[in-house]
Structure 1
Amino acid sequence: MLRMEIALFLVLAFVALVYFSAGRKHTMLHKTFSVLLIVMLVHLAFDAATIYTVGHLDTVPLLLNDILHRFFIGTMVLAVYLFYQYIAILAEEETGNPRRFDLAARIYLAAAELGVMLLPVHYAVTPRGNYSDGIHASVCYISTAFYLLLCVWLLLRNWAQIDRKKKFAVGAALAIEVCVSLLQAINPTWLISGMGLTLMTMSFYLTLENPDILRAELTEQKMSMLYLKSQVNPHFLYNTLDTIRIQAQLNNDKQVADLLMRLVDFFRLSVKVDRQMVALDDELELLEAYMELMCYRYPELTCSYDIDPDLGGVLVPNFILQPIVENSLLHGLKNKGYRGEVRIVAQRSAQHEGRMEIQVIDTGSGFAEGAKAKIEELLLHYDKQPAKLEGNSIGVLNVQKRIKLLCGRDCGLWYTENPDGGVTAHLLLPVTDEEGEE
């Protein structure tokens, strides 16, 4: 058995090395898994030590045996708590439902760890092998049952809303741990609890936290962004060139040169794809070039900006504002003959520390009947949507996917209706400058 624990430790150590060496956004989910990996390595070390010491009760001092067993069970309770935390955060990210049992889970964790440190340790000596039993050992069984029940409840309650791959990965991991725990309870001398927790950790890593999978998602989103940039609305291009042509016929003045310059600026800025993240000022420069052309085509269309000057250097995903503004024009102001205003606001978020909110506010006709519900469904389940290469929602979906991937799942895009008419697009983004500091 000792050899098995050593093998499990080495396998998990290799997984941890690969995991921590891979670049990633440090979201709450990834931070929880990182802590889980460290706790599991410590737990397996104590597991291996106690397997040896419990088998040599006649030679190992009782005090040392007790200390090692307390840390072994204490780290086990902490590990199953972290499994619950990981699944709870995953369910919250997938569904938007708040975590209801966090306080109860933490209170139980504190009580269980206190019991682990204070309750007397007892050892059973049998012909088939020695093991710890009694009230102290029962803490690990009760804790595992408590947190597994919470996890199963979370999974079943949110089954329909969680991504298919993720819910089956979580379900398989829980099934493995339930089976191993039952076998351990029936055959205490088997000492296989570490195997169950390791298999749970491995299932989460292979299906949910694998760096290669995350890199593949990033590549997919980058290709989608490149496609979007290469498919700038041809109507915009043709109509703008036609406007310039007519203006050239009517006026032989500086305006034509200015229009051409702004058009060149727009395309020059829009094809800069060498970086995933750019300064907000650069993103606004692209938007200003686009809106100047649109406002010239439609004289009764105006655009205004209210930008916190301290946010100019904040990094944002490349090419996220122009698709949102274009969406406002095509689905809101077009129905009003392009008469109205688009207002761009960028301020620090009052509700979310370390975040800023960019708002694209239009005075258009608002959502058509049923359109808001469709957009909300699209944005909520963005990761379940297939890659789109055509259609009106490609820009919105692309923006949401790239924000979630590059900035974290707590950031993103959503829409509200304005009391006086029109629609506001909200983009919540982290406040991170070019040196990666908040």
Structure 2
Amino acid sequence: MEHCKLQIGCLVVVLYILISYTRQYKSYKMNLHETFFDELSILGLLCLSFDCATAYTVNRLDSVNPLLNLFLHLMFLLCIDSVVFGLFLYMLNITDVHPRRRIAKLAVYFPYIANIIVVVANIGTLNYIYGEHTNYSMGISVYTCFSMVIVYTLMTVIVFFTRIRHIESHKRRCIIIYVLVSLTGMTIQFFNPEYLITSIVVTVMILGIYLSYEDPALKELSEYYSETVMSFANLVENRDSSTGGHIKRTTKYVRLIAQNLQNRGYHKDILTKDYISNVEKAAPLHDIGKISVRMPFFKNRENSRTKNLLL
């Protein structure tokens, strides 16, 4: 077990994150499938499990069935590719990038699909190297896998810096840290395969996403804030029966106008995700002053409208 202590430790951390994430969502009665973080976490658990298994079997080649060892390595390579590809899709999602054209979709998925084919086709040519501290595997499948990992991690970095205005400012630092750690770790692993630090990269990635975006407590706090704002807005609306769903419609219009201006490239220095979020939250309060207006004003206003309709 001395060769897989790191993997076991990382496995415990990710398992704890997933359990905590699931329990908090159930306690807050929130929708667990708002994003695919739960699927990404499960994929990370599988990746760490196969990483742990291969670290054990590759150092016991004399006693382990060769086909079992080959299968475990295949699953590990496929899982690590899938985790990094999932990170890239997650970055596209949080930065509001949704490829619609076939060429764009092909550019997103083709390297991943091609890599899967190459890894599976060449897994039989895997070689095992006896290192100074631990054994490790090499071959076309390994080189292809880690090359694709570096490519998608670089693409994730590019998307992050080109779409940084679409990410809240307080979340950027955390994202930068876990993306750069992933890129650095994968690069070190590629050029120094004996280090076997892939598990650290996966753990840092999942932990970074959880802390910056998926913590249920922070989401619940944000929802409480929005409910408080809407409660004040409803006080205004309840005093003036003629407004109907005016507040909700105004909020939707504000969000749509701001997002369309942002997508068209207008006012790039102003229309960040923070600004749009703040404007959207403030929109329901645009008539907050009506709370201090006397009720007869609203009744006279409503009666005058009724008379005009009758005339």
Q: Which has the higher contact order (CA 8 A, sep 6+)?
A: 2
Alpha-carbon offset, residue 203 of structure 1: 0.5
Retained in 2: the 8 A contact 1:112–1:139? Answer: yes
**Distance change (3 Å), C-alpha of 1:166 and 1:385:** farther
**Distance change (3 Å), C-alpha of 1:392 and 1:157:** same
Correspondence for 2:188 among 183, 200, 221: 183
Retained in 2: the 8 A contact 1:89–1:99? Answer: no
Which residue of 2 is the match for residue 18 of structure 1?
20
So what's the TM-score if we normalise by structure 2?
A: 0.75
Secondary structure of the corresponding residue to residue 31 of structure 1 = coil
Alpha-carbon offset, residue 321 of structure 1: 1.4
Correspondence for 1:207 among 212, 221, 226: 212
Retained in 1: the 8 A contact 2:11–2:45? Answer: yes
Alpha-carbon offset, residue 380 of structure 1: 9.1
Alpha-carbon offset, residue 26 of structure 1: 5.4
So what's the TM-score if we normalise by structure 1?
A: 0.54
Alpha-carbon offset, residue 113 of structure 1: 1.4
Identity %: 22
Alpha-carbon offset, residue 221 of structure 1: 1.0
Retained in 2: the 8 A contact 1:87–1:170? Answer: no
Alpha-carbon offset, residue 224 of structure 1: 1.4
More strand as a share of residues? 1
Correspondence for 1:109 among 108, 112, 119: 112
Alignment of 1:376-387 (within 5 A): 381-385=275-279
Residues in 2 aligned to 1:85 and 1:25: alpha-carbon distance in whole angstroms: 20
Which residue of 2 is the match for residue 145 of structure 1?
150
Residues in 2 aligned to 1:13 and 1:378: alpha-carbon distance in whole angstroms: 35
**Distance change (3 Å), C-alpha of 1:126 and 1:393:** farther
Residues in 1 aligned to 2:158 and 2:74: alpha-carbon distance in whole angstroms: 29
Unaligned runs of 5+ in 1: 234-265, 268-288, 295-319, 329-357, 360-372, 396-438
Alpha-carbon offset, residue 142 of structure 1: 0.8
Unaligned runs of 5+ in 2: 254-265, 290-311
More helix as a share of residues? 2
Residues in 2 aligned to 1:191 and 1:26: alpha-carbon distance in whole angstroms: 33
Alpha-carbon offset, residue 388 of structure 1: 4.5
Retained in 2: the 8 A contact 1:290–1:322? Answer: no
Which residue of 1 is the match for residue 286 of structure 2?
392
**Distance change (3 Å), C-alpha of 1:391 and 1:79:** closer
Retained in 2: the 8 A contact 1:378–1:385? Answer: no
Which residue of 2 is the match for residue 8 of structure 1?
10
Retained in 1: the 8 A contact 2:4–2:56? Answer: yes
**Distance change (3 Å), C-alpha of 1:68 and 1:378:** closer
Residues in 2 aligned to 1:390 and 1:106: alpha-carbon distance in whole angstroms: 41
Correspondence for 1:62 among 47, 66, 89: 66
Report the number of matched residues.
Answer: 265
- The answer to whether residue 231 in structure 2 is matched with residue 226 in structure 1 is yes
Secondary structure of the corresponding residue to residue 67 of structure 1 = helix
